[in-house]
Structure 1
């Protein structure tokens, strides 16, 4: 039993002995959290993590079985995934090879003399080594039927620029850990200890020069701010040393008329970061980043060394074992293939149809709420309903794989690293080739084996992978109220992203477009500011929540709960206690301190405990279900409750 009643108190208590009306999260999850143990190779336990472990255990077992009997699958893409898994799992061979697989490319990197040399091999270099910028081909935010070229900065060593602040207690320790890891990899690659230390210091100095011009997590949370198109000729002037035109000519099937700059501050100051004086530092940075990436596909010892910094950031105690690391490597390249297999085997069509019915119900509920909205004008309301009706729904897994996977052929005679290099090149070329093609709206943004869900504003579609469509989120055996408190709220959450602070700026076809009246937009902004205020500054894990960083996800949580509640109330045998209890259950989680610190700085979602506890306070149904009164821990003054959708 999840709950018990106390005669001395009319309130309802969770299994932990805490009253739901005082602390919903603790009442539902407190007893579990006291006993829960975080796996040594992970940064958290509970909810999403536990489901992910179950999924990967099933798939590892199946890949092993298929490896023993290769004829068990008649799907060539899946067969290549099995072969890749076997190659990755051959640690005896990887141990014998040591650093040998990377040495030819490393020699090429070491011999790089100057920017002229780099420009001469622009395209082939970009396909192989890190560079201080990134190009990507994605749907044009203002014309999503066509693809466009986007330019990004290179990213920082630490998770967010806020980590570099002088008062950040983790900065120096983390950078020292990264330096130690870099030195070990360089020494393993036959550099002297002295040179290795000099190169690590040089790379850190280059990384530090990027900080003033990089975006923070809060800035990245503003999607429209990424859209800064520049005519090609103007973009080319950003660097005096790197020939951007040569890179673009080598990589793209045709010359773009413009480049969409996602980080204007970085490219405006590009020459301050990348110039003749900094070439040596950049060179060190490129070599070390190359080795860190390569280490995942080398010997077990080198793999563990290359995982050192990631463990420090997440707080996990040890690296994944050999079998898990082989699976993760396989999933990195064959995720859609493996996801399709998982969906077909473990996610039945009955459940698929049932979830689709729930989605249809949620969309109808949302449409009704929009139709009867009391603060939108008629024009904005009609546009919102039109956008809702045009949302594309993807459930379970894709029936058809992208053609790219048919090009993946595992060479068993070559090293794992060489196979990875070949696949990386194929992936890049496939992505750049999209510039000359229309946007494929049938592509999935998530594989069927991922425990997650998403809304894509540029495609106006929602995706619910098979892996999340199980208990505690969903089960055919659960009551409708419990399912609506789990997957129902998740479904409505993703729909709500179409109308969060970012999604509301994209139209029915995913185009960045102003479709609101000024009055409606001002009203909407006022309401979202109230949501910022509700969360901003709340204490968590020794820090404070950034209400702006998590605004979009909070608006989606609020809208999701609102619509899911409405749907639950329309179902037979409605039990709103079960609804709210399952809402809290799905956000169950226990994390390492390092992981909580990183998520506080970078994660656009509110911490789990706050997701579970804060959103219900905005709904009268919660107060009625648990008889919440002034003075109770979960009580919030009606004037402070936020209502948007």
Structure 2
């Protein structure tokens, strides 16, 4: 074993032994310390559900958990699911086969909007970026057959993916009862429609710039997008009233709606419409059907084995009951000491950030004052939410004896969620509701609420350990906290004010300098070589700004502690982000993930700090060296 020199590759040098010993589980796309932690949490959850399933008397006095266990029991009853086969979705797919025109779809919009996915218009409810007190209607684009637009731009990759997709869908259609000729015709037509549609969807890079997705239009402007489709009628029907505030996610897509959904394309659209609705349900049918569908996932993400039934039962149950179960889990297993420690660290990091803003040398005082005002109004939530949405009370599961199955229960939940979202139009959603279950090993910043959330799941190893030194914890959870704060000042978050409204609070000169620094961050990462391809600096810029700013802030805060240890701080950062991905999962991430790969997150971030050079005696001859003029000091 040749020892890797940390001066050449800090990430792999620090984690060399782990990389040589660790293996990716057969049913996963990756392995890392947080995946290892997630596996331990999954084991505990499996143990709980097994116990509750066998002995319902042991289920805690919690109505949500009782319904979750009922749903879990539906999933693990492999025999009943096999007996039902395709029957739970036959009526739905038969209905699609009876539709003969786009007019028929629009004339039955209220009915079909509650039944199907992939209708010609995707109407949703979301925040008004310029008014945080209200939600508005959004017109969204649809998904393509393949995972993202980037795959289509590589002819060889596109053909590989479509070949596998065709093979898998052919197997599913034959299993469903289609003849080989019928299946071939459906697939051919579906791909033809997708080939037309793919040109008008946004790339991952465009989607990452979410401020550009907000395009508020008047009713008159919406009407002008189509001469064939009464878009306003569709939107008003969706909400059951006249809608005045509508944002368009993809203007080019909507401007081409008459061309895309022209009657000459109907049969091709109908084929993909049928297949999309079939595919959206394959995980709710038999295990044999799930196994066929898994073949595409296996190829696209290089996963060796399908999840075992008991593991799948947990993941599917948590898809619907993740929030109420997460609340129970966090209240029972989340330590008060951990919460107190993290609350204290949040206070310290915010103080440090404020101090850094006050000492900023490239912003005017007016901009600094407004940035500090935004920071002072930042809301922080740790561990678990105070409350969850009321609609979970309506998640009542019908078991097989009550003519229930996975499909009709999932459809019921979707309708409840749809009704709830529609009810939010022109209202503000309660800030107390979270977008992430407390069991998730993750965190997020919401620019429209100027709010940070740290679920209980992330307040454990590798990010936080009560037994670890302060330097290690500042490099872990401290850097995560500062990272999320930095999202309020990244290329997207910087456009929102202290109230979460899209509002230019910068002076013209300051914003110009910020854009220059953003471009420097893009250049710093763009083209960074990884095992499976190069980093896209534009796609990952928001996360890279948050990494650079967050790490630097956490480092400054850690240095004020009496027991500060620079090596512990830098090496903990490398250890936290160590990870292995399957080949195709790594490629999918490079194509569409706004986070840079782990090697870049570690090596670029540490090499951007002057202290790193002094600590490890890095010089110009070393591969880790970044010239001082290329190091970016942004926050």
* Band the TM-score falls in, shorter-chain normalisation: over 0.9
What TM-score do the two structures reach when normalised by structure 2? 0.97
Structure 1 residues 168, 353: closer, same or farther in 2, change over 3 A?
Answer: farther
Structure 1 residues 180, 505: closer, same or farther in 2, change over 3 A?
Answer: same
In the TM superposition, what whole-angstrom CA distance separates every residue of 1:468-518 from its partner, at most 9, and x where no partner exists?
Answer: 111111011111000111111111000000001111011111111100001
| Corresponding position of 1:356 | 343
Q: Which moved more, 1:604-613 or 1:45-54?
A: 45-54
Quote the offset at 1:16 in angstroms: 7.8
Q: Distance in 2 between matches of 1:436 and 1:226?
A: 19
In the TM superposition, what whole-angstrom CA distance separates every residue of 1:613-638 from its partner, at most 9, and x where no partner exists?
Answer: 11111111212222222312322211
- 1:65-144 counterparts in 2 under 5 A? 65-71=51-57, 72-130=59-117, 131-144=119-132
State whether residues 226 and 255 of structure 2, in contact with CA within 8 Å, keep that contact through their aligned partners in structure 1. Answer: no
Matched, 1:387 2:374: yes
- 1:395-474 counterparts in 2 under 5 A? 395-412=382-399, 413=402, 414-474=404-464
| Corresponding position of 1:586 | 576
State whether residues 387 and 433 of structure 2, in contact with CA within 8 Å, keep that contact through their aligned partners in structure 1. Answer: no
State whether residues 497 and 503 of structure 1, in contact with CA within 8 Å, keep that contact through their aligned partners in structure 2. Answer: yes
Structure 1 residues 150, 523: closer, same or farther in 2, change over 3 A?
Answer: same
- 1:295-374 counterparts in 2 under 5 A? 295-374=282-361
Matched, 1:291 2:281: no
| Corresponding position of 1:17 | 3
Q: Distance in 2 between matches of 1:335 and 1:344?
A: 14
Q: Distance in 2 between matches of 1:243 and 1:190?
A: 36
Quote the offset at 1:55 in angstroms: 1.9
Give the 3-state SS of the residue equivalent to 1:463 in structure 2: strand
Give the 3-state SS of the residue equivalent to 1:311 in structure 2: helix
State whether residues 387 and 432 of structure 2, in contact with CA within 8 Å, keep that contact through their aligned partners in structure 1. Answer: no
Q: Which moved more, 1:593-602 or 1:130-139?
A: 130-139
Matched, 1:526 2:526: no
Q: Distance in 2 between matches of 1:170 and 1:115?
A: 32
In the TM superposition, what whole-angstrom CA distance separates every residue of 1:336-366 from its partner, at most 9, and x where no partner exists?
Answer: 1121122112211211111111111111100
State whether residues 251 and 429 of structure 1, in contact with CA within 8 Å, keep that contact through their aligned partners in structure 2. Answer: no
- 1:186-335 counterparts in 2 under 5 A? 186-335=173-322
Give the 3-state SS of the residue equivalent to 1:435 in structure 2: coil
Instruction: Flag structure 2 segments of 5+ consecutive residues without an equivalent.
Output: none
State whether residues 532 and 586 of structure 2, in contact with CA within 8 Å, keep that contact through their aligned partners in structure 1. Answer: no
Give the 3-state SS of the residue equivalent to 2:590 in structure 1: helix
| Corresponding position of 1:632 | 622
| Corresponding position of 1:4 | none
State whether residues 204 and 591 of structure 2, in contact with CA within 8 Å, keep that contact through their aligned partners in structure 1. Answer: yes
| Corresponding position of 1:7 | none
| Corresponding position of 1:11 | none
Q: Distance in 2 between matches of 1:347 and 1:329?
A: 23
Quote the offset at 1:310 in angstroms: 2.3
How much is the aligned-residue C-alpha RMSD, in angstroms?
1.5
Quote the offset at 1:436 in angstroms: 4.2
Q: Distance in 1 between matches of 2:259 and 2:34?
A: 43
Q: Distance in 1 between matches of 2:231 and 2:581?
A: 43
Matched, 1:50 2:50: no
Structure 1 residues 238, 185: closer, same or farther in 2, change over 3 A?
Answer: farther
Q: Distance in 1 between matches of 2:106 and 2:78?
A: 37
Q: Distance in 2 between matches of 1:338 and 1:201?
A: 43
Q: Which moved more, 1:541-550 or 1:422-431?
A: 541-550
Matched, 1:35 2:44: no
| Corresponding position of 1:8 | none
Aligned counterpart for 1:181 among listed residues 139, 164, 168: 168
Q: Distance in 1 between matches of 2:115 and 2:26?
A: 33
Q: Which moved more, 1:550-559 or 1:202-211?
A: 202-211
What TM-score do the two structures reach when normalised by structure 1? 0.95
Aligned counterpart for 2:149 among listed residues 130, 154, 161: 161
Quote the offset at 1:100 in angstroms: 1.1
Give the 3-state SS of the residue equivalent to 1:499 in structure 2: coil
In the TM superposition, what whole-angstrom CA distance separates every residue of 1:237-288 from its partner, at most 9, and x where no partner exists?
Answer: 4344544334323321532213100101111111111110111111111111
State whether residues 16 and 28 of structure 1, in contact with CA within 8 Å, keep that contact through their aligned partners in structure 2. Answer: no
Give the 3-state SS of the residue equivalent to 1:169 in structure 2: helix
| Corresponding position of 2:562 | 572
State whether residues 203 and 285 of structure 1, in contact with CA within 8 Å, keep that contact through their aligned partners in structure 2. Answer: yes
Q: Which moved more, 1:409-418 or 1:43-52?
A: 43-52
Q: Which moved more, 1:489-498 or 1:198-207?
A: 198-207
Q: Distance in 1 between matches of 2:115 and 2:335?
A: 41
State whether residues 236 and 243 of structure 2, in contact with CA within 8 Å, keep that contact through their aligned partners in structure 1. Answer: no
Q: Distance in 2 between matches of 1:29 and 1:200?
A: 46
State whether residues 241 and 276 of structure 1, in contact with CA within 8 Å, keep that contact through their aligned partners in structure 2. Answer: no
Matched, 1:492 2:476: no
Q: Which moved more, 1:455-464 or 1:177-186?
A: 177-186
In the TM superposition, what whole-angstrom CA distance separates every residue of 1:361-390 from its partner, at most 9, and x where no partner exists?
Answer: 111100111111111111111110011111
Q: Distance in 2 between matches of 1:185 and 1:319?
A: 17
Give the 3-state SS of the residue equivalent to 1:278 in structure 2: helix
Q: Which moved more, 1:306-315 or 1:544-553?
A: 306-315
State whether residues 144 and 439 of structure 1, in contact with CA within 8 Å, keep that contact through their aligned partners in structure 2. Answer: no
Give the 3-state SS of the residue equivalent to 1:512 in structure 2: coil
Q: Which moved more, 1:97-106 or 1:60-69?
A: 60-69
In the TM superposition, what whole-angstrom CA distance separates every residue of 1:168-213 from its partner, at most 9, and x where no partner exists?
Answer: 4321111111112222222222221111111111111111111221
| Corresponding position of 2:136 | 148
Q: Distance in 2 between matches of 1:576 and 1:215?
A: 43
State whether residues 202 and 281 of structure 1, in contact with CA within 8 Å, keep that contact through their aligned partners in structure 2. Answer: yes
Q: Distance in 1 between matches of 2:234 and 2:422?
A: 12
Q: Distance in 1 between matches of 2:67 and 2:592?
A: 35
